């Protein structure tokens, strides 16, 4: 498990930046070829890599009880994750071993997984348990026709899947505890944008754009290009302080609480973003669909208890509405505009400067792992 700054050290780092009008800086400038956001060959290499890394599939809280399942497409592969009778989460390729139809769709809870085509039925452990009219399949061994498993690990409050032989431990190598057992999912949604998955991800990896892009939404509450940026393994954490953090200066250090004073954004390599806001948390998985299209998988959760006290779900839902109606809309529009603008062929590359340390770390890691799998 990685060691990130403690709350007390984080507060002092933020105060230092505010007092000196500084921010955390990277140590280099990165030039990313513009073609990498629309190249089919590059996209196929990235999909191949996503199948060879532990990639976040859903929060553990999305599978709260035995029989809970989540079925969706990950790295263009239909999968289903299900919590078994033993409490263990397992993931399978979502294709019946008879004729290949998806055995379930969406989210739900069931005692078994039954294909809607011919009712072949599988246990929560993936084993084939029932074939209607099994006399029509002489010699078929049910033990050899269970659902095909995918490597699954539950860590830090998230479920990770690795579809093929891994090239790296990815986000798991230095993963902190992100989602506590008491946190619950209160909303799940998805949407599709006409933009490369990396363009969308980049919008949450720096605070350089807050004053301009979010001038009437986030900026009135936040600070101009003042961030703490930590990298750990292939991941990063970007901290966005609110103006009200100055109130902590008048509170004894041992009584200071960061809750409501910052937004934490964890970038879990390669395509997952976990944001901890004032009254709720949001987990976003950016699923590449094509080089120029991305599907968002969005989970909204209650926050961790503060000093043992449960959170107010009404406040959490109100907080979620503000984020959805403002910041995400503006970020989405920026990513779509950049994608459309690629057709102008005005840029051979995009330049990420020292204010964009998290993005540089992401692209350097991505390039290194793509080279390793070649």
104 SS3 class: coil
> Does 295 map to a domain?
yes
pTM: 0.95
Kindly state whether residues 64 and 176 are assigned to the same domain: no
> Does 1 map to a domain?
no
E-strand ranges in the chain read: 30-33, 55-59, 68-74, 77-83, 89-93, 106-109, 113-114, 121-122, 128-130, 149-155, 158-162, 185-193, 228-232, 235-241, 262-268, 272-276, 280-290, 293-302, 349-352
Kindly state whether residues 160 and 181 are assigned to the same domain: no
> Does 327 map to a domain?
yes
> Does 2 map to a domain?
no
Rounded distance between C-alpha atoms, residue 10 and residue 5, angstroms: 6
Task: Report residue 170 as tokens.
Answer: 């990815």
pLDDT at 3: 81
DSSP letter (8 states) at residue 309: B
Kindly state whether residues 135 and 105 are assigned to the same domain: yes
> Does 299 map to a domain?
yes
- Contact in structure between 146 and 126 (CB atoms under 8 Å): yes
Rounded distance between C-alpha atoms, residue 360 and residue 175, angstroms: 20
pLDDT at 212: 96
Closest by CA to 191, choosing from 371, 328, 1, is: 328
CATH number of the domain to which 260 belongs:
3.90.380.10
Kindly state whether residues 28 and 96 are assigned to the same domain: no
Kindly state whether residues 320 and 177 are assigned to the same domain: yes
3-state helix, strand, coil in the chain (%, to 5): 30, 30, 40
pLDDT at 323: 66
E-strand ranges in 84-133 read: 89-93, 106-109, 113-114, 121-122, 128-130
Kindly state whether residues 266 and 161 are assigned to the same domain: no
> Does 42 map to a domain?
yes
Closest by CA to 88, choosing from 154, 177, 150, is: 154
CATH number of the domain to which 149 belongs:
2.102.10.10
Rounded distance between C-alpha atoms, residue 4 and residue 176, angstroms: 8
Kindly state whether residues 83 and 153 are assigned to the same domain: yes
The residue segments making up the domain with residue 143 are: 55-165
Boundary (domain end) residue, out of 145, 165, 185: 165
> Does 363 map to a domain?
yes
Boundary (domain end) residue, out of 138, 165, 192: 165
Kindly state whether residues 203 and 283 are assigned to the same domain: yes
Kindly state whether residues 44 and 60 are assigned to the same domain: no
Kindly state whether residues 369 and 270 are assigned to the same domain: yes
Q: What is the mean pLDDT of each run of 10 residues along the chain (374 residues)?
A: 86 97 97 98 98 98 98 98 98 98 98 98 98 96 97 97 95 91 95 98 96 91 95 96 96 92 96 93 97 98 84 78 77 97 97 98 98 84
pLDDT at 273: 97
> Does 310 map to a domain?
yes
Instruction: State the maximum Cα–Cα separation within the chain, in Å, rounded to a whole number.
Output: 79
Task: Report residue 120 as tokens.
Answer: 């072949």
Boundary (domain end) residue, out of 144, 165, 186: 165
Which strand (E) or helix (H) includes residue 212? helix 210-213
Kindly state whether residues 345 and 282 are assigned to the same domain: yes
Rounded distance between C-alpha atoms, residue 185 and residue 15, angstroms: 33
How many domains would you assign to the chain?
A: 2
- Contact in structure between 89 and 68 (CB atoms under 8 Å): no
pLDDT at 196: 98
pLDDT at 267: 97
Kindly state whether residues 180 and 261 are assigned to the same domain: yes
């Amino acid at each position: 498990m990685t060691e990130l700054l403690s709350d007390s050290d984080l507060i002092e780092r933020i105060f230092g930046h505010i007092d000196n009008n500084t921010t955390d800086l990277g140590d280099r400038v990165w030039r990313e070829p513009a073609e990498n956001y629309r190249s089919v060959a590059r996209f196929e290499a990235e999909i191949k890599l996503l199948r060879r890394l532990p990639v976040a599939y859903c929060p553990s809280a999305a599978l709260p009880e035995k029989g809970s399942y989540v079925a969706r497409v990950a790295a263009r592969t239909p999968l289903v994750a299900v919590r078994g009778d033993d409490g263990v989460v397992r993931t399978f390729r979502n294709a019946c071993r008879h004729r290949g139809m998806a055995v379930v769709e969406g989210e739900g809870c069931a005692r078994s997984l039954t294909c809607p085509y011919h009712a072949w039925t599988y246990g929560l452990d993936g084993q084939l348990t029932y074939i209607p009219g099994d006399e029509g399949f002489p010699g078929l061994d049910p033990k050899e026709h269970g659902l095909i498993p995918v490597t699954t690990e539950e860590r830090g409050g998230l479920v990770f899947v690795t579809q093929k032989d891994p090239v790296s431990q990815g986000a798991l190598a230095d993963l902190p505890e992100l989602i506590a057992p008491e946190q619950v999912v209160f909303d799940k949604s998805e949407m599709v944008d006409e933009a490369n998955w990396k363009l969308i991800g980049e919008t949450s990896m720096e605070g350089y754009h807050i004053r301009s892009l979010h001038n009437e939404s986030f900026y009135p509450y936040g600070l101009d290009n003042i961030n703490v940026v930590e990298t750990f393994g292939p991941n990063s954490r970007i901290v966005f302080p609110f103006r009200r953090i100055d109130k902590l200066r008048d509170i004894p250090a041992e009584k200071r609480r960061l809750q409501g004073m910052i937004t934490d954004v964890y970038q879990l390599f390669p395509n997952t973003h976990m944001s901890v806001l004032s009254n709720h948390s949001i987990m976003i998985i950016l699923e590449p669909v094509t080089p120029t299209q991305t599907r968002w998988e969005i989970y909204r959760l209650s926050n961790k208890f503060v000093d043992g006290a449960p959170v107010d779900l009404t406040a959490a839902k109100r907080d979620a509405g503000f984020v959805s109606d403002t910041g995400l809309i503006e970020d989405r529009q920026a990513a779509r505009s950049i994608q459309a603008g690629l057709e102008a062929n005005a840029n051979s590359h995009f330049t990420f400067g020292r204010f964009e340390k998290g993005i540089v770390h992401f692209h350097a890691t991505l390039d290194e792992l793509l080279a390793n799998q070649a």
